[in-house]
């Protein structure tokens, strides 16, 4: 199997292939000649210069590498060509299995407008908005008045915040349309935009689905992805704190996701994304027809290996799990470790890694793709690794993440690890009071250092609470001893 990707996700897939006894073929650009995924694969093929348009996005070069190595299948990972319907069709035409849904499904669900129509037909709730792209300002003004301000302008052909504009009133609409359409054209090759009602301070909740090629589809629960910057996720967790408060929500949102997946005849791993308010009302947003960056938290709480199942489904296997067989245990949190500076508007920080040490121990997982001496290139997304943890409760998982982040060492470049220290110590985060604007608001608050007395006391109390939850009774928790508090790094003595 050829892996049409790079970095930590390529390493993740190589490990799965090794466990399954399948030979791996890596591809690499000039910038990745000494990358970890290249070193780990059974075979590696150079596919072009550093520019992704001439390497990782060059579908024909990747197909040539697959043919030249005798690869029978291609796993696209996420990003790059993972949701490219033309590439999926080219694989099919070449007799090479694409690890993912069919090209027709990718095309249908890749259009947010078409996906909205399908969701409506399937009886799933959607955010009020237009059923097709708006053609001009006159039409947009009429539709916005019907929907009610504020509204969102969104690109029909893609996501990630590109081509998205918040519009508070009619006076802002025309300029916002020009900007959104122009940005969408540059990013996705299509300037088509549509309108949605803006839901203020929503949660971003997604549902993982698995479908085989015999019509059987199940969901694996939800992930909370509300901690975002520029519409890109930074911290994800499962279960959602909202589901912990409203246990009936998992069944409702899971069933909505299944209705849409079945209507699309979906096969392989996919994710349905929803917006939800504090009352538990949710609305379909879009579908990602690929493996998600944040898939480890679902693997933690369900015990189901998503990459293994992607490959088994593509090989024609039937899902051996019924919906009633899926169970969720404990809580998992993932932090995306980036080479970037949160204090400088999250500006990328490429460069050579002088020192690198990953955390370990019970309930800690690092999906990484770097090493000491590796130079983080400027040409690609600056994701270094995904740090995820599991524990019996959300409070205990937060404490475990705090410990793991403190152990993580990356020198030579700037990372966002200190941001996670602050986030995990934040009272609002610990309370699960989340929404998609949380991180923007958090970054405007005064920074609180690790030696802040209030943070120290909160840390001690949270640790005691986590221990009491694990033992089954908060009321029976023993008092925190002096040696415990004084033995913790960063606490006030």
Residues serving a catalytic function are: 290
DSSP 129: B
Q: Distance between CA atoms of 462 and 430, rounded to whole angstroms?
A: 9
Maximum CA extent, the chain: 69
247 in Cβ contact with 284 (< 8 Å): no
State the Cα–Cα distance between residues 422 and 462, nearest whole angstrom.
14
Residues 202 and 207: their CA atoms lie apart, in Å, by 16
| Total length of the chain | 493
CA-CA-CA-CA torsion sign (420, 421, 423, 424) = positive
Q: 231 by DSSP, 3-state: which? A: coil
SS3 content of the chain, % helix, strand, coil (to 5): 40, 25, 35
Tell me the C-alpha distance between 156 and 197, whole Å.
15
Cα–Cα–Cα angle for 241, 404, 326, nearest 5°? Answer: 45
Strand partners of residue 355: 411
Instruction: Kindly give the residue spans of alpha helices, DSSP state H, lying in 303-352.
Output: 306-314
State how beta strands 43-48 and 375-376 pair. unpaired
Q: Which residues contact 432 (CB under 8 A, 6 or more apart)?
A: 241, 242, 244, 245, 394
Q: Report the distance separating Cα 402 and Cα 419, nearest Å.
A: 11
CA nearest to 119, candidates 214, 111, 222: 111
């Amino acid at each position: 199997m050829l892996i049409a990707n790079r970095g930590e996700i390529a390493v993740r897939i190589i490990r799965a292939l090794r466990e399954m006894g399948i030979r791996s073929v890596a591809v690499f650009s000039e910038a990745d000649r000494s990358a970890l995924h290249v070193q780990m694969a059974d075979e590696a093929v150079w596919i072009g210069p550093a520019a992704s348009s001439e390497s990782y996005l060059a579908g024909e070069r990747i197909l040539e590498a697959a043919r030249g190595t005798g690869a029978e299948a291609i796993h696209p990972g996420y990003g790059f060509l993972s949701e490219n319907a033309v590439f999926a069709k080219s694989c099919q035409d070449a007799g090479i299995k694409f690890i993912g849904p069919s090209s027709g499904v990718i095309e249908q669900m890749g259009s947010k407008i078409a996906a909205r129509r399908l969701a409506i037909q399937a009886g799933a709730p959607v955010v009020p908005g237009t059923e097709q792209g708006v053609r001009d300002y006159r039409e947009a003004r009429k539709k916005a008045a019907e929907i009610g301000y504020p509204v969102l302008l969104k690109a029909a052909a893609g996501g990630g915040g590109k081509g998205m504009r918040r519009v508070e009133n009619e006076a802002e609409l025309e300029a916002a349309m020009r900007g959104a359409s122009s940005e969408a054209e540059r990013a996705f090759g299509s300037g088509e935009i549509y309108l949605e009602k803006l839901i203020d301070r929503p949660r971003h909740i997604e549902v993982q689905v698995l479908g085989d090629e015999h019509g059987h589809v199940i969901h694996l629960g939800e992930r909370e992805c509300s901690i975002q910057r520029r519409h890109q996720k930074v911290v994800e967790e499962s279960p959602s704190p909202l589901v912990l408060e409203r246990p009936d929500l998992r069944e409702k949102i899971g069933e909505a996701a299944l209705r849409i997946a079945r209507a699309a005849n979906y096969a392989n791993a996919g994710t349905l994304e929803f917006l939800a308010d504090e009352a538990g009302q949710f609305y379909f947003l879009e579908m990602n027809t690929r493996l998600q960056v944040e898939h480890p938290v679902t693997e933690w709480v369900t015990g189901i290996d998503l990459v293994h199942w992607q490959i088994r489904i593509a090989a024609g296997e039937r899902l051996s799990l019924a919906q009633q067989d899926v169970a969720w245990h404990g809580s998992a949190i993932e932090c995306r470790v980036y080479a970037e500076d949160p204090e400088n508007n999250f500006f990328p920080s490429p460069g050579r890694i002088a020192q690198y040490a990953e955390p370990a121990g019970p309930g800690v997982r690092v999906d990484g793709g770097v090493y000491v001496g590796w130079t983080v290139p400027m040409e690609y997304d600056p994701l270094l690794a995904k740090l995820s943890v599991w524990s019996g409760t959300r409070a205990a998982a937060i404490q475990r993440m705090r410990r793991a982040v403190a152990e993580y060492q990356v020198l030579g470049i700037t990372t966002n690890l200190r941001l996670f220290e602050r986030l995990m110590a934040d009272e609002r985060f610990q309370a699960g009071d989340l929404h998609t604007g949380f991180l923007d608001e958090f970054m405007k608050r005064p920074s609180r250092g690790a030696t802040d007395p209030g943070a120290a006391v909160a840390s001690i109390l949270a640790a005691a609470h986590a221990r009491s939850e694990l033992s089954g009774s908060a009321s029976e928790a023993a008092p925190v001893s002096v040696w415990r508090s004084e033995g913790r790094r960063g606490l006030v003595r």
